[in-house]
Amino acid sequence: MFSMKAFGLLLLCCLSCGQIMAQENALFHDPLNTELLENYNKEIRENPTKYRRRWQRASILLRHGEYSAPVQEDIDSLLAQPKWRVLGERLQPIKLYLEGKSEEAATLIRKNIKENGHSIQEQTRLLATIELAKKDTAAAVAAFQSGWDLYGDENVYVDLLNAYRGWKTPPKETLQKGLERFPNSPGTVQTIYEAYFTSGTPDDMKQCLEISGKAVHVLWPMSVDWKVRHAKALVVSGESDSAESVLQQALELMDSDPRWQSNADNVPAIRKDVFTLLEKIRSK
């Protein structure tokens, strides 16, 4: 009915919900906690209006591929309560998906996305998962695009760029909007840089240099990672001398900055990147 890989992606993307689900946030392949489940069953039998427990019970069962009667009972109970309805709306498409009713699930998700922005990243990821199962990358990208267009959520924007990866370069307008909206967000700026770098056209490499140059000189001057990214863009753009200077700065920073001493696990890998680039430059 569904592959374990798709199932894992689905649940990993869609069943995280902050503090409410913190205690059940194990991966789908972990054994079902029967003791925890029985505690939920008991509490719900004693008080059917414990909607938080209904949410938690349905979620933990769906995570383990269970969609029997109690799950639908819990979802229906949540849907009937205005305060909890949105959680029922999040669970219903997952149940439909696991039942093999992907099109029904997708229709419901599109409705959810259009009507409210609650957990928009989870909703768009689930819709994209359904589209990717049909090998429709364009539709998966469109799922993230719709969430981004409607709500401007940064996490959805990063997912949108990642969905393009390995398929084609994101539209320049989309990349520029991200830079305008999230100019100081390290992860988002990095994702935009990587999209331009992967494209590799002369114009896109100019954008890479502009992004990484601003990161190195203005935004994050103490970041070794950004120095390495800037050096890579310089090398590709034929500015090897400038790249060598930036890499030397990266080495000096690692040797002198106490923060790098406390981040020892990452030092060997980043040093290897630096020396690999230096060797490439000096071998020319």
Pick from 13, 26, 19: nearest CA to 60: 26
Pick from 211, 116, 204: nearest CA to 168: 204
What's the pLDDT at 262? 63
What letter represents residue 188's amino acid? T
Query: In terms of DSSP H, where are the helices of the chain?
Result: 4-14, 34-46, 51-63, 69-79, 85-98, 102-115, 120-133, 137-151, 154-164, 172-181, 186-199, 202-214, 224-236, 240-256, 258-262, 267-282
Q: What is the pLDDT of residues 149-187, one digit of tens each?
A: 999 999 999 999 999 998 999 999 999 999 999 999 999
The top-scoring range by mean pLDDT among 4-18, 28-42, 69-83, 125-139 is 69-83
Q: How many CB atoms lie within 10 A of CB 148?
A: 24
Pick from 284, 270, 268, 177: nearest CA to 236: 284
Q: What is the pLDDT of residues 72-109, one digit of tens each?
A: 999 999 999 999 999 999 999 999 999 999 999 999 99
Start-to-end CA distance of the chain, whole Å, equals: 55
In order of start, what are the domains of the chain with their CATH numbers? Answer: 170-284 (1.25.40.10)
- What predicted TM-score, i.e. pTM, was given to this entire model? 0.80
